[in-house]
Amino acid sequence: MGSRWGQWVDWHIRISLLLPWALVAHSIALGWGLLALLPLSLLAGSQFGTFLDGETSLRRFLAYHVGFSALTLALALVHVYSVVMYR
């Protein structure tokens, strides 16, 4: 906690506001297979992140937010790998 934690939270919220727009700018189509899961996991992680406003909701929704965020990272890495290897 403290000022460093507050700076991290502010940065995290700003990035979370820009990330869906970057997704739309990258591609409007959902794609197929694994590429359909990437934007859906991003949106699910963002949605659960909006619920994190109090101690009770933090305990209840933080695991979902972190889980979907980790899934988004993993799927993004798979996406980058497949683009680099198969283009």
Structure-model confidence comparison of residues 64 and 14, the more confident one: 64
Task: Note whether 50 and 16 are within 8 A (CB).
Answer: no
What pLDDT is stored for residue 74 in this prediction? 93
- pTM value is 0.74
Q: How many Å apart are CA 44 and CA 72, to the nearest integer?
A: 9
* Conformational region of residue 15, where left means phi above 0, alpha means psi within -120 to 50, and beta covers everything else: alpha
Q: How many Å apart are CA 30 and CA 35, to the nearest integer?
A: 7
pLDDT digits (tens, 9 = 90+) for 40-67: 888 899 888 888 887 888 889 999 999 9
What pLDDT is stored for residue 70 in this prediction? 95
